[in-house]
Amino acid sequence: MTAPGRGPYDLAVVGAGVVGLATAYAGVRRGLRVLVVDRSAEAVGASVRNFGFVTITGQRRGAHWARAKRSRDIWAGIAPQAGIEVLHEGLLVLGRRPEAAAVLDAFAATEMGEGCRFVTCAEARGMAPPLACEDAAAILHSPHELRVESRDAIPRLARWLEDAKGVSFLRRAAAHAVTPPRIETSAGTFDAGAVVVCPGDEFAALFPERIAAAGLRICTLQMLRLAAPGAPAFGAAVMSDLSLVRYEGYSALPEAAALAEVLRREQGPELDAGIHLIAVQSADRSFVVGDSHVYGDAPAPFAREALDDLILAEFDRVLPLPGRRVVERWTGAYASGRDVIFHDRPAADVRLLIVTGGTGASTAFALGEDVLADLFDAQPLKTET
């Protein structure tokens, strides 16, 4: 990436994770001259340590669900232009218990269930051939989701923004102060008329007192990549009962309480570790599988084998694949808060934006549009359901 000029820029974005890149894209679509500043040479955080799964079904009802739908549409439009492969689309939710079926029935009856349908085990196996669905209480299929390989998609997105859209990138530079029109960094001072700070889980660099007042914490998760000899091609991602008590679009429904009670009795350790199953497939037919959720004031530096074992056990119950083996293990971390996003206005021409529910890949593009509408058009960003 070429060295950027000193400006003036119309918009500076601090942070080159998916939220920062999506905000930069929203700026480009407005015809703005955009600078992105990031302390790393490339994306190394939560934006590349996830499923690459753009999830609509199960997002918090209301504004956040609507943002996920809009972001999915933007992803679908950008991907072919940026050379990002969409590996598969759609989602299968395997309800193994009657209580899970009740949650799925209730979900399907809401506006969030539009376009979703119940499928037979045979239909589901057409999309996920090894699915253990013979005794399933219900299987819901959503056509809305799409899956990209995050570790490839985010760098490709950044290169496309620079090469095709004229976004300037300042890498290996820490932003020390943002007081438009001056942006002070470790690589010098730059001029920009407005700034959006997207710090992810970096709470101490810019506006630490505002982030501290929001009571944000760090969620650490564990994930795995599995290889299986002769694994068939999948046409959808897979979730199971545990997801129905974690994703708010399901868990906020009254019917979820009965499922939570059953899961507490039958899979208490999984609930304690915040485990739910998501399985997605990569181009080489390996699977990205996860994940757990452990909360604290800093990322947990050491992965726990016991959590991996619980994740793998749920995977094996839902997708029994002979000879499957773990080929990669990693941890990720993201900001967690009371709401699904944290949005603040440190100054008239500065915005602070953090996705605090682990849904950055799913909602960032619409959030980028919304935060710029708040910044430039005085259209307040909705945080309520």
What are the per-10-residue average pLDDT scores of the chain (385 residues)? Answer: 76 97 98 96 90 94 96 97 97 98 98 97 97 97 97 97 97 95 95 96 94 95 96 96 96 98 97 96 96 93 95 97 96 93 96 94 97 94 64
DSSP element (H, E) containing 54: strand 53-54
Q: Do 194 and 164 have their domain in common?
A: yes
Q: Do 229 and 303 have their domain in common?
A: yes
pLDDT at 375: 96
pLDDT at 381: 87
Q: Do 35 and 123 have their domain in common?
A: no
Q: Do 168 and 185 have their domain in common?
A: yes
**How many CB atoms are located within 10 Å of the residue 326 CB?**
12
Report the DSSP pairing between strands 294-296 and 287-290.
unpaired
Domain CATH number, residue 269:
3.30.9.10
Nearest to 375 by CA among 342, 346, 350: 350
pLDDT at 58: 92
Quickly list DSSP for 280-293: EE-TTS-EEEE---
pLDDT at 104: 98
Q: What is the DSSP letter of 53?
A: E
CA atoms within 13 A on the CB side of 8: 7
pLDDT at 338: 87
pLDDT at 385: 42
Domain CATH number, residue 17:
3.50.50.60
Number of domains in the chain: 2
Residue 292 domain flag: yes
Nearest-angstrom CA–CA distance, 13 and 3: 16
Angle subtended at Cα 293 by Cα 287 and Cα 295, rounded to the nearest 5 degrees: 155
Q: Do 30 and 169 have their domain in common?
A: yes
Residue 67 domain flag: no
Q: Do 139 and 265 have their domain in common?
A: yes
Residue 240 domain flag: yes
**How many CB atoms are located within 10 Å of the residue 280 CB?**
23
Q: Do 280 and 291 have their domain in common?
A: yes
Q: Do 105 and 197 have their domain in common?
A: no
Q: 270: domain range?
A: 88-147+217-331
Residue 72 domain flag: no
Q: Do 322 and 227 have their domain in common?
A: yes
Q: Do 299 and 359 have their domain in common?
A: no
